[in-house]
Amino acid sequence: MIRTVATTPFTDQKPGTSGLRKKVPVFQQPHYVENFIQSIFDVLPAFKGRTLILGGDGRYYNREVIGKVIAMAAANGVGKVMVGKGGILSTPAASHLIRKYKAFGGIILSASHNPGGPKGDFGIKYNAENGGPAPEKITDAIYARSRKIGEYKIAEIAPVDLDRTGTVEVGAMVVEVVDPVCDYADLMESLFDFTALRRLFEKGFRMRFDAMHAVTGPYAKEIFENRLGAAEGSCRNFHPLPDFGGHHPDPNLVHAKHLYDEMMGPDAPDFGAASDGDGDRNLIIGKGIFVTPSDSLALLAANARVAPAYMTGLAGIARSMPTSAAADRVAHKLGVGLYETPTGWKFFGNLLDAGLVTICGEESAGAGSSHVREKDGLWAVLLWLSILAARGESVKDIVEKHWAEFGRNYYSRHDYEEIKTEQATRLMEGLRARLPSLAGTQVRGLIIQSADDFTYHDPVDGSLSEQQGLRILFQDGSRLVLRLSGTGTSGATLRIYIERYEPDPARHGLETQDALAELIAAADDLAGIARHTGRNQPSVIT
């Protein structure tokens, strides 16, 4: 029985950097989820008869929305829904299933690293046939549709038992509940030399992986402990919880401080890592050293050949604009292309599809490759383990040798969270207006070489994305970038990205914040951060 339900549009269903993200109570409003899902189906009528991949990170409200999507898919003529057992799929695993089973697309329920629970965040993201987040032309169309929607279709069906794998028929549609881990773990086994990794653990190598009570727990247990033989207990916080145990499942130095402290302590294991709510981010910490995501990208790219999947080399490297230029130096040495995109994994999709790049990464703790079309936390951990196994050196030695060879890009991001939207806009507008007059002027003794608002011309489809971040480049190669986050759910978050290149190995041992002190002060002089926001300190420093 298919019901057509009359509805009225919501005005706020515009997808951000990574899908539609709002507080749970917003999604709980009558018709809110249904309107958005129907907008997706309306924009993509070719879904009819094809397969849809469905799953989420298990956060609060996941199961309810899974039920609604299945009922609406049946009403809208979808041929088959493949859903992870328990409604669970990590973001990279969902991307893999879309590709492996040649699905038409996928719906991923997650608010990534944002906190969960009844008052926490929820999110819905549509991924296209290539397994990647829908490009802007599709998300814009979904938003436009959501502004006009007048009805949605939903089938009246008995709830599907999500806790048992197998196939059931729901009207004319088939629902297959699949093991969320197996296909993904097999994919990892096809990319990396699991025999070499098993040998590493046999020799007594110790690792700590913190799943932060989020989706990667079952994946990490299976891969590290079961398939690779890491000691039991190597994975921590591996039971996914709907509220992530009350924490932010964000693998950074603030929210994974316990891991950082352990790795800096006297009994630190050889390698520490963590992932986020939906499993696409990574945090890498060696014994006594935190590896910034920008450095990690450069190191992964420089050493990728140790893994069978990358043995023949990389086609190219891509990074988001605010990510440090450490990877550029690697690309230069390898003689491959380096592409600079706006923030958001979706911008890598075309480059990967066109075969222009193999490895991509972002300062926001994301790295991945052409194996899927999302960033992939466990993939990054496995590539790191592969490098450690092949080189037989510590993380610290590997990082320091990398700096000695390429120079060090000191790098930090300062976030001012939950500031008033008007304040944030005023600050950005003020600086944007001054950009044309900045070249040649000095601030804190640093000479500005150029200043602009980043525009991206996609080399594959020719599309243009404007206003992607204010950049101030200094004559000595240092750089400041300011932009507003596109993933927050309350107020605005101002991000300031600070970078300074240091070629001299004698000066590679400075404290990052000290090394960047002048630039940090310059950012305030230029943008009036304290004046506009009333804050003297960032909320998070990564």
Binding site for ligand G6P (CB under 6 A): 17-18, 112, 320, 343-345, 362, 364, 366, 485-487, 495
Residue 276 interacting with Zn ion (CB under 5 A): yes
Q: Least distance in Å: CB of 113 to Zn ion?
A: 5
Residue 121 interacting with Zn ion (CB under 5 A): no
Partner whose footprint covers residue 278, from Zn ion, ligand G6P, none (CB < 5 to 8 Å by kind): Zn ion
Partner whose footprint covers residue 362, from ligand G6P, Zn ion, none (CB < 5 to 8 Å by kind): ligand G6P
Partner whose footprint covers residue 486, from ligand G6P, Zn ion, none (CB < 5 to 8 Å by kind): ligand G6P
Would you call 39 a catalytic residue per the annotation?
no
Site residue total, Zn ion (CB under 5 A)? 5
Q: Which is nearer to ligand G6P, 17 or 463 (CB)?
A: 17
Residue 250 interacting with Zn ion (CB under 5 A): no
Q: Least distance in Å: CB of 108 to Zn ion?
A: 10
- From the list 278, 362, 415, 502, which residue makes contact with Zn ion (rule: CB under 5 A)? 278
Q: Least distance in Å: CB of 350 to ligand G6P?
A: 15
Q: What is the Cα–Cα distance from 328 to 409, expressed in whole angstroms?
A: 11
Amino acid at 189: E
Among residues 110, 112, 146, 324, the one annotated as catalytic is 112
Q: Which is nearer to ligand G6P, 17 or 28 (CB)?
A: 17
Bridge partners of 283, per DSSP, are 274
User: Under a CB-based contact definition with an 8 Å cutoff, are residues 247 and 115 in contact?
Assistant: yes
Q: What is the Cα–Cα distance from 519 to 516, expressed in whole angstroms?
A: 5
Residue 295 interacting with Zn ion (CB under 5 A): no
Partner whose footprint covers residue 364, from ligand G6P, Zn ion, none (CB < 5 to 8 Å by kind): ligand G6P
Per-residue three-class SS string for 176-221 = EEECCCHHHHHHHHHHCCHHHHHHHHHCCCCEEEECCCCCHHHHHH
Partner whose footprint covers residue 216, from ligand G6P, Zn ion, none (CB < 5 to 8 Å by kind): none
Q: Which is nearer to Zn ion, 222 or 276 (CB)?
A: 276
For residue 27, the tally of other CB atoms under 10 A from its CB is 21
Which residue, chain included where needed, has tokens 């987040």?
A: 133
Which residue, chain included where needed, has tokens 């450690």?
A: 388
Backbone angles phi, psi at 320, to 5 degrees: -75, 155
Q: How many CA atoms lie less than 13 Å away from 232 in the CB half-sphere?
A: 0
Residues 6+ apart with CB under 8 A from 503: 407
Partner whose footprint covers residue 423, from ligand G6P, Zn ion, none (CB < 5 to 8 Å by kind): none
- Give me the residue whose beta carbon is nearest to Zn ion: 112
Residue 57 interacting with Zn ion (CB under 5 A): no
Residue 362 interacting with Zn ion (CB under 5 A): no
Q: What is the Cα–Cα distance from 225 to 181, expressed in whole angstroms?
A: 14
Long-range contacts of 329-335 (CB under 8 A, 24+ apart): 329/298, 329/406, 329/407, 330/298, 330/301, 330/302, 330/406, 331/301, 333/302, 333/406, 334/301, 334/302
Q: Which residues are catalytic?
A: 112
Q: By the criterion CB under 5 A, which residues form the site for Zn ion?
A: 112, 276, 278, 280-281
